[in-house]
Structure 1
Amino acid sequence: MTTPDDDILRAWHDNAEPWARAVRERRIASRERVTNQAVVQAIRDLAPAKVLDVGCGEGWLTRTLADDGIDCLGIDAMPALIRHARDAGPGRYQVLSYEDLPTKTPEERFDLAVCNFSLLGDRPVARLLAALPYWLGRDGHLVIQTLHPGPHSHPDEDGWRPGSWGGAGPGFGDPAPWYYRSLPSWRTLLRDSGFRSLQLREPRNPDTGDPASILFIAQ
């Protein structure tokens, strides 16, 4: 019997090619207008020398940071996405799943780990976050950008939600589900994973003023 976490991996395996095209062709308006620059700026503000890009996909963020002179390693569970990343430009890449990372002894330490819209699951995400402090230096940071959890005073119940490829264009199959966490749940998860000094940013749609995402910056 499969789980929703298994369905995430299957969906990304089946849709790696159209996703890489959507990113390269800059089809996703919210990314181009708001969220790409938001995560890049959050990283630049912390001035890391070495970055671990967790769930790097086809590698756009790793390439951007490499162009800034940052030593960046991008990891992803999908071999097809890593192939696209390696073919596209600078940066180091490795196939590594969220299940495997907690079992692996780090061969190097990083100043910062970033998870940019890459924390969709439930238990694998919790295990991953608990393992990341061992991959960071003593004063290392974690930057997470994810879907905004909604009004802070009225959090919804945590649980699985249906996914969508909306705005990414044609060619996609079934979308990956995602596990919704309220803001208090994110805070608890990060604290239990060993992170502190939490900062929040809410990048906003310039037309509506609504939050386009939420950024967690922890140490």
Structure 2
Amino acid sequence: MDLSAERQIIDSWHQNARAWSVAISERQIASRKLVTDRSIVDAVVSRNAPKVLDIGCGEGWLTRELTARGMEVLGVDVVPAFINKSQTLGIGRFELASYAEIATGKLGEKFDLAVANFSLFGNESVTELVSSLPSLLTVQGMFIVQTLHPLVACGELPYLDGWRASSWAGFSDDFTDPAPWYFRTMATWVELFTTHGFTIAEIREPLHPQTGKPAAAIFIGVLR
């Protein structure tokens, strides 16, 4: 199923790029507005990294935010509509690239920190990407991931790794064809880092101010 599911993820983002850009620009996603946008910015800023790679940057808000804070940031995404839109705004640097292309050295430069903010949905594509990161990072480089908190995202299903169906529930009717996503437990997220040359320096669990439950999990890894 992996190849089909991985393809569906990319196809879904191609179809929903415009709707997603509108949702972000209009701040329609409550959890991002209340918690997770700030939490990922704080996590990156806390590491004092001069040069940052924003992986799966989407419409580019994080790249622009970090650039405005004085960092040199490259945002990369596989969806041309995202990159084209981001480049027109004139803040930050953006490049079209798939995770496979990043893994095979398309970018041709090194970074002090790589960040993936709610952008690692696949299985094999994510493993391939993470395995390549040590070659893209400087000595003692860092990798930060913000993702759905496994204990919350698991819902009523068994707490086991595997592909899950998704939906656009809570989003506007402009969104179509939700893609599957690959669920990882907390232990598997940690293993993804440690298997590919990183030591987990910190795990953050930002809480939603209204529910009191984790709104996300943030993993901060440092190259060994």
Query: 1:167 offset after TM fit, Å?
Result: 3.0
- Which one of the candidate residues 185, 208, 211 is aligned to 2:214? 211
Say if 2:88 is the partner of 1:87: yes
- Cα deviations by residue, 1:180-219 (Å, 9 ceiling, x for unpaired): 0001111111111111133100010111210000000000
Counterpart in 2 of 1:159?
162
Alignment of 1:1-219 (within 5 A): 3-104=4-105, 106-150=107-151, 156-219=159-222
Give the residue type in structure 1 aligned to 2:193: L
Give the residue type in structure 1 aligned to 2:64: R
Give the residue type in structure 2 aligned to 1:132: L
- Cα deviations by residue, 1:9-47 (Å, 9 ceiling, x for unpaired): 110011111111111111000001000000000011111
CA distance in 2, matches of 1:25, 1:81: 16
How many residues align structurally?
217
Query: 1:99 offset after TM fit, Å?
Result: 1.4
- Cα deviations by residue, 1:118-174 (Å, 9 ceiling, x for unpaired): 0000000000000011111101111100000107xxx71110111222333230111
SS in 2 for 1:46: coil
CA distance in 1, matches of 2:90, 2:38: 19
Structure 1 unmatched runs, 5+: none
CA contact (8 A) 1:16 1:80 kept: yes
Q: 1:72 to 1:206 in 2, by over 3 A?
A: same
Identity, in percent, stands at: 45
CA contact (8 A) 2:193 2:200 kept: no
CA distance in 2, matches of 1:60, 1:71: 14
Give the residue type in structure 1 aligned to 2:7: D
SS in 2 for 1:3: helix
SS in 1 for 2:37: helix
What's the TM-score, normalizing by structure 1? 0.95
- Cα deviations by residue, 1:65-88 (Å, 9 ceiling, x for unpaired): 010011000000101111111123
CA distance in 2, matches of 1:89, 1:209: 38
Give the residue type in structure 2 aligned to 1:144: V
Query: 1:105 offset after TM fit, Å?
Result: 5.5
CA contact (8 A) 2:190 2:200 kept: no
CA distance in 2, matches of 1:44, 1:158: 31
Give the residue type in structure 1 aligned to 2:188: S
Greater Cα offset, 111-120 or 81-90:
81-90
CA distance in 1, matches of 2:69, 2:169: 31
Structure 2 unmatched runs, 5+: 153-157
Greater Cα offset, 49-58 or 84-93:
84-93
Give the residue type in structure 2 aligned to 1:130: S
RMSD: 1.6
Give the residue type in structure 1 aligned to 2:38: Q
Give the residue type in structure 2 aligned to 1:218: G
CA distance in 2, matches of 1:58, 1:79: 10
CA distance in 1, matches of 2:136, 2:107: 6
